[in-house]
Structure 1
Amino acid sequence: MNNVLTKELCLSNIQNLTEKMLLDLLEDEKYSVIITDEQHLKEEKEVCWQRRKATLQRVVHKTTISIRHKREKISARLEIGTVNVEERVFSQCDLYISYTKKNIEQVEKFLGEVLKKSIFVLVEPNIWERASQLAGYYQPLISLRYQRDDIKTALDTHLFWQIFLINQGWVDFLCKPLERITLRQLRVKLRRLRSCLAFFKPVLEQPQASLWQTELRRQGEELSLLRELDVALMAIEKFSANTTQEELAQEYLAKILSQARAIEAKRVKQKMQLATLTFTFARLIMWLSDEPLTASCERYGLESFFRRRIREWSKNIISLTQRYPDFSDVEKMHKIRIKVKKFRYVMMSFPEINHNTNTMLRRLKKLQDMLGFLHDEYINKELAQRIMQADGSKTSLKQTVFCGWESAKTAEALAIVPDLWEDFCEDLELWRDTI
């Protein structure tokens, strides 16, 4: 049955091309386009919008098309129109591409050609659910595709919307690579999706799942130096110079770091092409839509899987005390930080397990913030060393600024981290017993 099940990708054209322009774009020497049906519709429906119900109205022109190449045929649809909800109006300029397990390879080839010609981004095919996602208040458990006690629908519901956000996050970053906030948000979205994929690891086919984890990690690593430079620049901005020498050193460092950031942003923008990224995320969605689950997952119900998996993760988190007992070791503390961050992303992403967690999550956030602060300080010092080695002039001035960075706070943080860890683990054990 899965062989004939038809699914859809939806690509929104950022340039808001007209229908004729899109049709012209789709047709070339390789592909011919035949219009098979047209409809002009006015629709409205109640949707969840910013924590309340609202009426979404849509005026849309739907054009069903058949895309042909030799003996191959791909079904597609254009939807051009406007959507109005709560006095907010946004345009719809979408290309829907239908695919089955049998023609995924043909669809990928066609998609690769289309993405070379105009700027597209993946979006939620269901316009009603897309509205909730745009409002920033998407509720997976009331999604139309979600089914209680079905791991496959839970996988799709929890991961698809994150993929759409990351694809849009790359659009935002590549448009404004010098903005710190777009970079930070994109990195958070990438880490969250990686964490959620890791949570489902026991029921996902290998090595495909690991390869997708590697791809998401690669994207995050491309952005890591930019983030390090941003952290250093923010630290310099907070530093209060007490002397003219320190002020000059502060300005000198800010100039060096700003120049380095601009160069790195240009490198990332040139390397990370949006067409390639969108194509990659489309392939990820098609893989998730196909049969990514192992045969062993049939013995799990959704509820039992979530309960068993989070108990395993909780146990592993608690055991970190034995594996990395020395909190003064920066490398070991960084490993704890990564695992704690991954755990928090999972807890915040899955409402199925996020029950009676307020106290635990507050302590987890405080611990995560403190570990993050210490990690940033370590990165700043490493960066300072590289700068001083590269440029011998004004070394003493630079040393003054870097050594002054939050030194008292660093010592204080190192002293209280063990207590924060102990408090969190106590709450985690208590919560784990209630699952």
Structure 2
Amino acid sequence: MSKHTETELKLRCTDESVWERIMTAEALTNLAVLGTAKTEQLEARYFDTANHSLQNAKLAYRVRREGEVWVATVKSGGSSKGGLHARQEWNIAVDREEPDITVFLNTEVGSRLQKVIGDQILEPILITRFERQILEVIMHDGATIEVAADKGEIIAGEKTAPILEVELELKSGQPRDLFLLGAALAKEYPLLPEPDSKYYRGLLLAGLSTEIPRRNELPQVDKSRPVSEVLRVVLVDLIAQVLLAQRSFLEHKEQPGLVHELRICLRRLRSVLEFSEPLAVIKEYSRYQDELRKFGRKVEALRELDVAYCSWQQFLGYQMVSMEGKVWLGEVLTEKRSQEAEKIYAEYNSGLTTSTLLGLWAELLDEDCQHIIPHDCTVDDYVITGLLSWLRIVGKQEKSVEWTDAENVHKIRLWVKKIRYTMEVLQPDLKGTPRLLLKLEKLQDTLGIISDAKSTEGLLRELLRGKSSKGLPLEAGMLIGWQCHETLTLRKKLDKYWLKFNRTVQKWK
């Protein structure tokens, strides 16, 4: 019998055509232990009671054929974040495939298992059947990782779902090594972090579970810890949020809100990473900032199309507007949006961000990157001092900005975003923080409308090239004129908004 806490990084391959080459990746062959490569045919049967007692108790029970041997396994609880899975498991070799929990009665999980099941009958609920290629590698720091490449299917009744994933299981060493190896693999092959286990995917396939809504919530900040440690933990959470937003976008690329959420998560990560720079929490700060900036720019065009379409719909809904005959602009924007979404989907689905995000995660887990700061500097001391410095920069820019200059408006808007997102995440403990956040949000939204009007104008001019419709230029002109009117109205209010914002900053100090 073996029992341990299993820690593994799961990566899904998005292109079956490269599958046969993955286990020969340079990232693996340079570290492989000779004689450890092997291939197994595995078939696992998962069991539960008729009323799903094991599932409700967050337990999983399976019997798996591993070559000529049957192994019974119980897995308990666990966690999953950004493809990193950790859970307790107990394994016992058995002589048949029929379920029998009595073999676990002398283990730590035995009494719990018996209490949950009682005298109920265990029934098969799903099957996983796959070929597993296995290789052991030793990292440069001595950590041992078992690499398993699984190809097959999940079977639930008449339904099936493919399995095409790489599991990196930590046998010895630190989780950081999993991310280093995962990042190296993702440089060579199209891989995405996989947050769902085969068992959970099977439950969804069988209709025995409903998909848990994925929501990005602000990280919890433990202010009793050293500042550098807190920031590393927060940054790891923000990486996981980017991965979650990316997955949502890939599953529903047609939804504008998910594109916007992905951009916000990337911007939030970049903002807090910049705020952490003085503490040197990572070694390659500039490289990671550049890569994250590129990821955000990839979806800029799609976001601009969504903004233009939304503005057009608002214009059409304006009570003084009366459109006769066919309306062309909405169709043109929709078609262009579909084309752009497919292009961006292909790039992100190929693992565009995987190597960078896993590499950044690994750096944040590197204790050598910790920077010693004065023991009397609390998290709030650091956060408030840093935010005040940023607020002073914005104050100086506001005094000299030319509001008719789109580039200047965009720059000051980026500063407002950085301050807002950093403040939201790190939650400085000052009485006026909620009020200041509201003022920042108001400024960001107002400056956004002004910036969006300019970007929409450029977008529409580009779209008009080569279009023969006589109605399209008219509609585009009407939208541009309407946005200009809205922008002029907002510019008249900006001085008042800034005055209120500056007063709130003074009180916040």
Q: TM-score, normalised by structure 2?
A: 0.62
The amino acid across from 1:239 in the alignment is F
- What is the rounded CA distance, in whole Å, between the counterparts of 2:467 and 2:342 in structure 1? 23
Q: CA deviation at 1:59?
A: 8.9
Task: Indicate conservation of the 8 Å contact 2:74/2:89, yes or no.
Answer: yes
Q: Are residues 298 and 114 of structure 1, via their aligned partners in 2, closer, same or farther at CA, if it must alter by over 3 Å?
A: farther
Over aligned residues, Cα RMSD in angstroms? 4.2
1:74 is matched with which residue?
144
Residue of structure 2 aligned with 1:140, choices 212, 216, 220: 220
Task: Indicate conservation of the 8 Å contact 1:14/1:120, yes or no.
Answer: no
1:349 is matched with which residue?
425
Task: Indicate conservation of the 8 Å contact 1:204/1:294, yes or no.
Answer: yes
Q: Are residues 272 and 62 of structure 1, via their aligned partners in 2, closer, same or farther at CA, if it must alter by over 3 Å?
A: farther
Q: Does 1:268 align with 2:348?
A: no
Residue of structure 2 aligned with 1:214, choices 260, 271, 290: 290
**How high is the sequence identity, in percent, across the aligned residues?**
20
Q: Give the alignment of 1:246-395 within 5 angstroms.
A: 248=326, 251-291=327-367, 293=369, 295=371, 297=373, 301-303=377-379, 304-324=381-401, 326-353=402-429, 355-391=431-467, 393-394=469-470
The amino acid across from 2:269 in the alignment is L
The amino acid across from 1:107 in the alignment is L
Q: CA deviation at 1:338?
A: 0.9
Q: Are residues 157 and 353 of structure 1, via their aligned partners in 2, closer, same or farther at CA, if it must alter by over 3 Å?
A: farther
Residues 83-106 of structure 1 show CA distances to partners (whole Å, capped at 9, x for unaligned) of: xxxxxxxxxx99564455996897
- What is the rounded CA distance, in whole Å, between the counterparts of 1:62 and 1:277 in structure 2? 35
Residue of structure 2 aligned with 1:107, choices 174, 181, 197: 181
- What is the rounded CA distance, in whole Å, between the counterparts of 2:166 and 2:426 in structure 1? 29
Greater fraction helix = 1
Q: Are residues 318 and 42 of structure 1, via their aligned partners in 2, closer, same or farther at CA, if it must alter by over 3 Å?
A: same
The amino acid across from 2:181 in the alignment is V
The amino acid across from 1:75 in the alignment is I
Q: Does 1:192 align with 2:262?
A: no
Q: SS at 2:356's partner residue?
A: helix
- What is the rounded CA distance, in whole Å, between the counterparts of 1:282 and 1:149 in structure 2? 24
Task: Indicate conservation of the 8 Å contact 1:27/1:33, yes or no.
Answer: no
Q: SS at 2:351's partner residue?
A: helix
Q: Are residues 100 and 430 of structure 1, via their aligned partners in 2, closer, same or farther at CA, if it must alter by over 3 Å?
A: same
The amino acid across from 2:457 in the alignment is K
2:322 is matched with which residue?
242
- What is the rounded CA distance, in whole Å, between the counterparts of 2:427 and 2:403 in structure 1? 32
Task: Indicate conservation of the 8 Å contact 2:383/2:428, yes or no.
Answer: yes
Q: CA deviation at 1:349?
A: 0.5
- What is the rounded CA distance, in whole Å, between the counterparts of 1:39 and 1:209 in structure 2? 46
Q: CA deviation at 1:317?
A: 2.1
Q: Does 1:156 align with 2:232?
A: yes
Q: SS at 1:239's partner residue?
A: helix
- What is the rounded CA distance, in whole Å, between the counterparts of 1:200 and 1:281 in structure 2? 17
1:173 is matched with which residue?
249
Task: Indicate conservation of the 8 Å contact 1:187/1:223, yes or no.
Answer: yes
Q: Are residues 410 and 137 of structure 1, via their aligned partners in 2, closer, same or farther at CA, if it must alter by over 3 Å?
A: closer
- What is the rounded CA distance, in whole Å, between the counterparts of 1:407 and 1:414 in structure 2? 10
Residues 368-393 of structure 1 show CA distances to partners (whole Å, capped at 9, x for unaligned) of: 11111111112111222223344364
Q: TM-score, normalised by structure 1?
A: 0.71
Q: Are residues 39 and 280 of structure 1, via their aligned partners in 2, closer, same or farther at CA, if it must alter by over 3 Å?
A: farther
Task: Indicate conservation of the 8 Å contact 1:156/1:289, yes or no.
Answer: yes
Q: SS at 2:411's partner residue?
A: helix
1:55 is matched with which residue?
none
Q: Are residues 360 and 11 of structure 1, via their aligned partners in 2, closer, same or farther at CA, if it must alter by over 3 Å?
A: same
Unaligned regions of 5+ residues in structure 2, if any? 1-5, 15-19, 39-65, 80-85, 93-132, 149-164, 197-211
Task: Indicate conservation of the 8 Å contact 1:77/1:97, yes or no.
Answer: yes
Q: SS at 2:145's partner residue?
A: strand
The amino acid across from 1:10 in the alignment is L
- What is the rounded CA distance, in whole Å, between the counterparts of 1:107 and 1:257 in structure 2? 42
Q: Does 1:409 align with 2:409?
A: no
Q: Are residues 217 and 63 of structure 1, via their aligned partners in 2, closer, same or farther at CA, if it must alter by over 3 Å?
A: farther
Task: Indicate conservation of the 8 Å contact 2:268/2:421, yes or no.
Answer: yes
Q: SS at 1:75's partner residue?
A: strand
Q: CA deviation at 1:277?
A: 2.4
Unaligned regions of 5+ residues in structure 1, if any? 1-6, 16-23, 48-57, 79-92, 124-131
The amino acid across from 2:442 in the alignment is K
Question: Which moved further from structure 2: 64-73 or 151-160?
Answer: 64-73
- What is the rounded CA distance, in whole Å, between the counterparts of 2:351 and 2:91 in structure 1? 24
**How many pairs does the alignment contain?**
374
Q: Are residues 300 and 9 of structure 1, via their aligned partners in 2, closer, same or farther at CA, if it must alter by over 3 Å?
A: farther
Q: Does 1:231 align with 2:311?
A: no
Q: Of the two, which has the highest radius of gyration? A: 2
Q: Are residues 330 and 137 of structure 1, via their aligned partners in 2, closer, same or farther at CA, if it must alter by over 3 Å?
A: closer
Q: Are residues 44 and 107 of structure 1, via their aligned partners in 2, closer, same or farther at CA, if it must alter by over 3 Å?
A: closer
- What is the rounded CA distance, in whole Å, between the counterparts of 1:160 and 1:136 in structure 2? 13
Q: SS at 2:328's partner residue?
A: helix
Q: Are residues 379 and 62 of structure 1, via their aligned partners in 2, closer, same or farther at CA, if it must alter by over 3 Å?
A: farther
Q: SS at 2:194's partner residue?
A: strand
